[in-house]
Amino acid sequence: MVLLQIAEPGAPTEVQGERQIGVGIDLGTTNSLIAHFDGTDVRVLKDESGQASLPSVVYYGAKGTVVGAAAETYASSEPANTIASAKRMLGRARAEFEDDPYVTLAEGEGLAFNTDAGNKTPVEVSSAILNELKLRAEPQLTGPIAGAVITVPAYFDDAQRQATRQAAELAGVKVLRLLNEPTAAAVAYGLDEHAEESSLLAVYDLGGGTFDISLLRMRAGLFEVLATGGDSALGGDDFDRALAAYLMEQVALDAPSPVQRRIALTLAREAKEALSEVESVSVDVSALSARSEQIKVSRSTLDGLLAPFIERTLSACRMTLEDAGVKTVDRVVLVGGSTRTPAVRQAVATCFDREPLCSLDPDQVVAMGAARQADILVGNRQGDEALLLDVIPLSLGLETYGGLVERIIDRNSTIPVARAQEFTTARDGQTGLVVNVVQGERERVEDCRSLAHFELTGIPPMVAGAARIEVTFRVDADGILEVSAVEQQTGARSEIVVKPAFGLDEGQITEMLKAGYEHASEDMLARKIGEARVEAEALLAGLQAALAADGDLLSAEETTELQRDMTALETVMKKSQPDEIRAATDVLGRASEAFAARRMDRSIQAALQGVSLTDLESAEVEENTP
């Protein structure tokens, strides 16, 4: 491991040593999957009974915690203990679900489900699903899982992404990258990824609970997301509900019990799936009605019920095309089980004037792409692989005087991104201010979503407009936001990593991990020490190599300082205190940032000229030869 190792352009290097194991996880609203790429093939890992899809359902009750198909069997008998579609609620506010007849919320302020086994948050439910997938995969792999790429809808906002990361952390899964689902689907198809001519691809992803439309441009190994759009609360579940409502209406069931609702939903889903194959089905509704009854549902009846939902997806498609300034696309890829519905396929083909691609299973394509990307990120290949450039789905900004939003980063900006804006105080003698970070496209704060508040204090009293406060927004490659504010004259500084307001805080996660989700606490400590040491060793080894190669970039004084911090870390590493090791690693890491940046600068010129570093070195040698 070399500090900021620069791969030579066009020279793929096979990494030495053992092959690391990466997995791709599609954490879906209705079903979840895990897949692995072994260097040759992508394999979706199945359970003992041969099922690839794990229903995203968790049961918490007298029988303990049960995940998947086994949990679904409790859906009718114990609806409140059986949590389905928890992904819809990840990183969302309680208020958004107060009136939802399908969930039983726990008392209190947070968003949690009230079950017989206690209150369960959407993060915990998602974590149980991830854990189940991990347990399923491990015996089928040749070693421990080094990391996972977890997919999220492109439309997921910062809080939803953070919540997904928390769920993974809670399940003991190391996240290599959160990848947008449509991008993963494009990777799975591996379309023209190395073609010189650029081509445009639309990914139409209609899952159980979310709809995404993304436009990607592919050229010479780069996948660029040009624009994304969609609706994070629209999907096949809505189809089921519409048909369930229709069935209940047919038997004049006005006030269904939770159990009856569940039954109606199950009947509706079965009928919907059958109608993808045949023109008409008979539904036995005796469980909903006093008298035994069969209702005939034709495909055209279903199409009529679905039309408003399909139209919503198409209008999002048109909006996204306009956003990207694009009129036509070269290809359309279908993702998500709901794209099996014939009416959806027809509507998409008409809208884009193209027959959509569907040669890969629309339920598995996302997990397959994630597995491919996980293999790259875990370090098994370097140099030649495709690079995925993602964009942020929603604009980010902050509240200014009068409740207006000042946009700092526009939606569809390529990430990572950093942008700064200067502000000043509104009143004479103002010594502090509150930075309200918001997300959304609207002009007024109340129409946007507030992500976080933080305060900047210690501004010396000045007349209004004299202070100069630079606010910087940074979004990393996972789409997660960090905001800092600095008063330029005094250097007063404040910053925040935006945490999901409706998820769990660091402390709660640590608590839950400690409580032994599945690990005993000694295991946890050993794992933490191990991880801290690996990180420390990687840094030390990297720095030593970097000093040997580019030590000339540092002054003697800087070298001494760096070596002092290195010795400090080596001493601390021998102890068994993970926190201390981490702290010392962090100190050394920060101390060497400037060095790393200088090395990067040195390599840029070489990179741009397409000259390899070795060429550069030998050229220097020649110059020195008389």
Partner 1 sequence: MRLWREFYGLNVNATAGATARDYFSLFQLEPGFSVDEAALERAYHSLLSQFHPDRYAGKAQFEQRVAAQFCADINSGYRVLSDEVLRAEYLLTRAGVNLAKAEREGVGAAFLMTQIMLRERLEEMSPSDGQAREALTEEIRGYYQASCGEFAAAAGKVAWSEAARHWQEMCFLSKLLDDARPRSY
| 20: number of Cβ within 10 Å | 17
Q: In a 10 Å sphere around its CB, with 0-12 CB exposed, 13-18 middle and 19+ buried, how is residue 55 labelled?
A: buried
Select from 13, 286, 315, 489 the one that contacts partner 1 (CB under 8 A). 315
Query: Where does this chain touch partner 1 (CB under 8 A) — which range of 58-66, 232-240, 327-335, 426-434?
Result: 426-434
Q: Which one of the listed residues 26, 158, 478, 565 is annotated catalytic? A: 26
**Which lies closer to partner 1 via its Cβ, residue 135 or residue 404?**
404
**Which lies closer to partner 1 via its Cβ, residue 360 or residue 539?**
539
C-alpha to C-alpha distance for 298 and 384, rounded to whole angstroms: 51
Q: Which one of the listed residues 181, 231, 238, 399 is annotated catalytic? A: 181
Place of tokens 């970039």: 553
Q: Is 227 in the site for partner 1 (CB under 8 A)?
A: no
- In sequence order, what are the beta bridge partners of 225? 216
Select from 250, 301, 413, 450 the one that contacts partner 1 (CB under 8 A). 413
Query: Where does this chain touch partner 1 (CB under 8 A) — which range of 43-51, 66-74, 317-325, 353-361?
Result: 317-325
Select from 249, 422, 505, 579 the one that contacts partner 1 (CB under 8 A). 422
Q: Is 61 in the site for partner 1 (CB under 8 A)?
A: no
**Which lies closer to partner 1 via its Cβ, residue 117 or residue 538?**
538
**Which lies closer to partner 1 via its Cβ, residue 110 or residue 379?**
379
Strands of the sheet with 469-475, listed across from one edge: 469-475, 481-487, 493-497
Q: Is 242 in the site for partner 1 (CB under 8 A)?
A: no
Q: Which residue intervals of 551-577 are DSSP H helices?
A: 556-573
- The pair of structure tokens assigned to 108 is 């209190």
Q: Is 476 in the site for partner 1 (CB under 8 A)?
A: yes
**CA dihedral over 438, 440, 445, 449, signed as positive or negative:** negative
CB of 569 to partner 1, least distance (A): 12
Q: Which one of the listed residues 8, 78, 124, 205 is annotated catalytic? A: 205
Select from 432, 460, 516, 551 the one that contacts partner 1 (CB under 8 A). 432
Q: Is 16 left (phi over 0), alpha (psi -120 to 50) or beta?
A: beta
Query: Where does this chain touch partner 1 (CB under 8 A) — which range of 94-102, 127-135, 282-290, 586-594?
Result: 586-594
- The pair of structure tokens assigned to 275 is 């109608």
CB of 220 to partner 1, least distance (A): 7
Closest C-alpha to 575, from 603, 619, 536: 536
DSSP characters over 199-248: EEEEEEEE-SS-EEEEEEEEETTEEEEEEEEEETT-SHHHHHHHHHHHHH
Select from 70, 135, 307, 387 the one that contacts partner 1 (CB under 8 A). 387
Q: Which residues contact 360 (CB under 8 A, 6 or more apart)?
A: 188, 189, 368
Select from 70, 464, 568, 619 the one that contacts partner 1 (CB under 8 A). 464
**Which lies closer to partner 1 via its Cβ, residue 195 or residue 387?**
387
Select from 135, 220, 463, 497 the one that contacts partner 1 (CB under 8 A). 220
CB of 4 to partner 1, least distance (A): 6
Q: Is 1 in the site for partner 1 (CB under 8 A)?
A: yes
Indicate the SS3 state at residue 447.
Answer: helix
C-alpha to C-alpha distance for 339 and 239, rounded to whole angstroms: 12
Select from 199, 276, 382, 612 the one that contacts partner 1 (CB under 8 A). 382
**Which lies closer to partner 1 via its Cβ, residue 319 or residue 525?**
319
**Which lies closer to partner 1 via its Cβ, residue 265 or residue 370?**
370
**Which lies closer to partner 1 via its Cβ, residue 199 or residue 430?**
430
Indicate the SS3 state at residue 490.
Answer: coil
CB of 310 to partner 1, least distance (A): 16
Select from 109, 593, 622, 623 the one that contacts partner 1 (CB under 8 A). 593
Q: Is 406 in the site for partner 1 (CB under 8 A)?
A: yes
Q: Is 379 in the site for partner 1 (CB under 8 A)?
A: yes
Q: How many CA atoms lie within 13 A of 322 on its CB side?
A: 6
Using CB under 8 A as the binding criterion, the count of chain residues that bind partner 1 stands at: 78
| 108: number of Cβ within 10 Å | 10
Is residue 87 among the annotated active site residues?
yes
CB of 611 to partner 1, least distance (A): 12
- The pair of structure tokens assigned to 565 is 């911090």
Cα radius of gyration rounded to whole Å, the chain: 27
In this structure, the dihedral spanned by the alpha carbons of residues 271, 274, 276 and 277, taken in order and rounded to 10 degrees, is -150
Select from 274, 496, 607, 613 the one that contacts partner 1 (CB under 8 A). 607
Identity of the residue numbered 116 = D
| 535: number of Cβ within 10 Å | 15
Query: Where does this chain touch partner 1 (CB under 8 A) — which range of 246-254, 278-286, 414-422, 508-516?
Result: 414-422
**Which lies closer to partner 1 via its Cβ, residue 135 or residue 604?**
604
CB of 222 to partner 1, least distance (A): 6
| Phi, psi for residue 608 in degrees, rounded to 5 | -70, -35
C-alpha to C-alpha distance for 57 and 41, rounded to whole angstroms: 29
Q: Which one of the listed residues 8, 72, 87, 157 is annotated catalytic? A: 87
**Cβ proximity of 228 and 154 under 8 Å:** yes
| 537: number of Cβ within 10 Å | 15
Place of tokens 């191990």: 530
**Which lies closer to partner 1 via its Cβ, residue 192 or residue 470?**
470
Q: Site residues for partner 1, window 326-355 (CB under 8 A)?
A: none
Q: Is 6 in the site for partner 1 (CB under 8 A)?
A: yes
Strands of the sheet with 211-219, listed across from one edge: 331-335, 199-206, 211-219, 222-231, 387-389
Is residue 26 among the annotated active site residues?
yes
Q: Site residues for partner 1, window 63-92 (CB under 8 A)?
A: none
Q: Is 548 in the site for partner 1 (CB under 8 A)?
A: no
Query: Where does this chain touch partner 1 (CB under 8 A) — which range of 104-112, 215-223, 251-259, 331-339?
Result: 215-223
Q: Site residues for partner 1, window 142-201 (CB under 8 A)?
A: 147, 176-177
Residue 610 CA: distances (Å) to CA of 7, 365, 386, 605? 12, 35, 18, 9
Place of tokens 């879906």: 28
**Cβ proximity of 370 and 1 under 8 Å:** no
**Which lies closer to partner 1 via its Cβ, residue 268 or residue 316?**
316
Q: Is 135 in the site for partner 1 (CB under 8 A)?
A: no
Query: Where does this chain touch partner 1 (CB under 8 A) — which range of 58-66, 91-99, 380-388, 550-558?
Result: 380-388
| Phi, psi for residue 215 in degrees, rounded to 5 | -110, 125
> Which residues does the annotation mark as catalytic?
26, 87, 181, 205
